[in-house]
């Protein structure tokens, strides 16, 4: 696909007129998908797609559109020529964009990931074998994902990465299920088997009579997947420069008030070790790391090219929404194997659901416990807990009430497949928290 993209990019660039500049982006994938329930395949297929973005620029005016590429060389060229002609006609009628900023310094890059995936049928065999005897339901997707950039100034950037993502549940009955995931770059059947055995053991506990507790404050352990739900909410305007300047950021207290997190909390955008591209859609090459929060204090913003132009600061290649795509938190000192003992009595929460802000300026959020949340006594899982709602602020969860983070972290890949497979990742520890507030 890289050759296809560069070939059509050269074709479009050669047909520019006068002082026109063109920016071209590429999104592609070659993915195998399998959906299953009752531990049987219900839908299987493959998707090969390539999408070309064209942004035609003249001065501070620009017009953009997208084109699905078929792979048929002459047909793609003809349709691209027609689309460029249409964009050229629009330029006389669009206003100047005062915040338009694109890279003019040529920085070409290439990052081609190794393919360490198992054949799709081998992976499926291992999934079905691990789910034998369970009502296993979920989706598995795997294959290469491609991202590209080209402009008429001569810059070329390319990313190809091979990943897999298995998202599944062992379902018991009613609202009782254990939700699990296994994702990464290198397929390891032993690791999958261990995850499925752990999920099966938790499913057995769900068959016990559920415990009901009163609203109040409890000691909890958030597994890495639950931590992901919390930090993903922070990505909704928590780190972006635009939101902070507009004073609508959920972390505004950290930059304009007294808001601080626990000294153990360091968060960063780690593009160098993530799965997302190290270049943005305007041609800026991203730094390997952007430290967002360091030892509990706000450090750097995510800055898109548009915000950079508006506020007169350098961009670090953030997207339009200024959200992290390769998010990570530093590990702590609690061995994961000892998390239950250190929890002693309280809640073991595998997943949180339906999160949203309940008080955005205070960075207070609400959500639900759901799949495989257990009551713990004396460091042992006693049985399932009925669904509860929580309402907590980040300054308590990851601030004054944080006991500690696990020494081990889990790599979690985004499982979104709306239109195309997402290229985003999280590397997160589990979190032990005191006085976590359950409201009903």
- Asked whether residue 133 falls in the same domain as residue 256, the answer is no
Question: pLDDT-based confidence at 418, cuts 50/70/90?
Answer: confident
Q: Which residue has the tokens 């999934």?
A: 127
State residue 337's pLDDT score.
95
> Is the pLDDT reported for residue 371 higher than 90?
no
Domain boundary at 172, 200, 228, which?
200
State residue 255's pLDDT score.
96
State residue 267's pLDDT score.
98
- Asked whether residue 309 falls in the same domain as residue 400, the answer is yes
Assigned token pair, 247? 């004073």
Domain boundary at 171, 200, 229, which?
200
Calpha distance 174→151 (Å, rounded): 54
State residue 174's pLDDT score.
84
- Asked whether residue 185 falls in the same domain as residue 230, the answer is no
- Asked whether residue 162 falls in the same domain as residue 227, the answer is no
Q: Which domain holds residue 324?
A: 216-438
Domain boundary at 144, 168, 200, which?
200
How confident is the model over 169-204, as pLDDT tens digits?
999 988 889 999 999 999 999 999 999 999 999 999
- Asked whether residue 81 falls in the same domain as residue 177, the answer is yes
Asked if the structure places residue 223 within a domain, the reply is: yes
How confident is the model over 11-58, as pLDDT tens digits?
999 999 999 999 999 999 999 999 999 999 999 999 999 999 999 999
- Asked whether residue 225 falls in the same domain as residue 159, the answer is no
Q: Print the SS3 string covering the chain.
A: CHHHHHHHHHHHHCCCCCCCEEEEEEEEEEEEEEEEECCEEEEEEEEEEEEEEEEEEECCEEEEEEEECCCCHHHHHHHHHHHHHHHHHHCCCCCCCCCCCCCCCCCCEEEECCCECCCHHHHHHHHHHHCCCCEEEEEEEEEEEEEEEEECCCCEEEEEEEEEEEEEEEEEECCEEEEEEEEECECCHHHHHHHHHHHHHHHHHHCCCCECCCCEEEEEEECHHHHHHHHHHHCCCCCEHHHHHCCCCCCHHHHHCCCCCCCCCCEEEEHHHCCCCCECCCCCECCCEEEEEECCEECCCECCHHHHHHHCCCCCCCCCCCCCCEEEECCCCECHHHHHHHHCCEEEECCEEEEEEEEHHHCEEEEEECCCEEEEECCEEEEEECCCEEEEEHHHHHHHCEEEEEEEEEEEECCCCCCCCCCCEEEEEEEEEEEEEECC
- Asked whether residue 92 falls in the same domain as residue 229, the answer is no
Write down the pTM of the prediction: 0.94
Asked if the structure places residue 380 within a domain, the reply is: yes
- Asked whether residue 238 falls in the same domain as residue 305, the answer is yes
How confident is the prediction for the chain on average, in pLDDT? Answer: 96
> Is the pLDDT reported for residue 263 higher than 90?
yes
For residue 20, the domain's CATH number is 3.30.2290.10
- Asked whether residue 59 falls in the same domain as residue 96, the answer is yes
Asked if the structure places residue 208 within a domain, the reply is: no
> Is the pLDDT reported for residue 132 higher than 90?
yes
CA distance to 3, 63, 116, per residue, from 10 (Å): 11, 19, 32
- Asked whether residue 267 falls in the same domain as residue 378, the answer is yes
Averaged pLDDT, 346-364: 96
State residue 175's pLDDT score.
82
Calpha distance 1→50 (Å, rounded): 8
The total domain count for the chain is 2
- Asked whether residue 255 falls in the same domain as residue 331, the answer is yes
How confident is the model over 133-173, as pLDDT tens digits?
999 999 999 999 999 999 999 999 999 999 999 999 999 98
- Asked whether residue 237 falls in the same domain as residue 109, the answer is no
State residue 149's pLDDT score.
98
């Amino acid at each position: 696909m890289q050759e296809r993209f560069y070939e059509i990019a050269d074709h479009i660039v050669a047909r520019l007129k006068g002082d026109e500049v063109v920016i071209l982006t590429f999104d592609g994938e070659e993915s195998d998908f399998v959906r299953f329930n009752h531990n049987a395949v219900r839908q299987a297929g493959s998707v090969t797609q390539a999408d070309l973005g064209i942004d035609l620029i003249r001065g501070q005016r620009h017009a953009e559109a997208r084109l699905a590429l078929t792979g048929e060389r002459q047909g793609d060229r003809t349709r691209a020529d027609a689309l460029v002609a249409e964009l050229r006609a629009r330029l006389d009628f669009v206003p100047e964009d005062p915040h338009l900023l694109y890279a003019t310094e040529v920085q070409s890059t290439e990052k081609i990931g190794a393919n360490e995936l198992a054949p799709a049928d081998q992976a499926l065999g291992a999934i079905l074998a691990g789910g034998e005897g369970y009502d296993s339901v979920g989706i598995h997707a795997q294959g290469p994902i491609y991202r590209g950039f080209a402009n008429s100034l001569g810059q070329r950037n390319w990313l190809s990465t091979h990943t897999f993502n298995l998202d599944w549940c062992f379902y018991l009955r009613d609202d009782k299920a254990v939700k699990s995931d296994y994702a990464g770059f290198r397929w390891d059947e032993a690791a999958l088997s261990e995850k499925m055995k752990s999920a099966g053991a938790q499913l057995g506990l769900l068959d016990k009579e559920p415990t009901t507790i009163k609203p109040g404050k409890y000691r909890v352990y958030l597994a890495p997947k639950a931590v992901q739900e919390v930090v993903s909410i922070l990505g909704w305007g928590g780190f972006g420069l635009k939101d902070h300047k507009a004073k609508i950021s959920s972390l505004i207290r950290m930059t304009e008030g007294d808001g601080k997190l626990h000294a153990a909390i360091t968060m960063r955008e780690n593009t160098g070790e993530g799965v997302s591209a190290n270049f943005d859609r305007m041609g800026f090459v991203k730094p390997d790391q952007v430290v967002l929060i360091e030892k509990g204090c706000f450090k750097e913003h995510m800055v898109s090219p548009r915000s950079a132009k508006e506020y007169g600061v350098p961009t670090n290649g953030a997207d339009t929404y200024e959200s992290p795509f390769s998010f990570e938190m530093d590990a702590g000192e609690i061995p994961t194997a000892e998390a239950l003992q250190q929890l002693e009595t309280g809640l073991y929460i595998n997943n949180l659901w339906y999160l949203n802000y309940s008080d955005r300026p205070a960075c207070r959020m609400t959500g639900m416990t759901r799949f495989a949340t257990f009551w713990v006594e004396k460091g042992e899982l006693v049985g399932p807990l009925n669904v509860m709602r929580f309402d907590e602020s980040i300054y308590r969860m990851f601030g004054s009430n944080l006991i500690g983070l696990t020494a081990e972290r889990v790599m979690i890949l985004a499982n979104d497949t709306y239109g195309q497979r997402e290229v985003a990742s999280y590397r997160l520890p589990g979190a032990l928290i005191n006085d976590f507030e359950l409201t009903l």
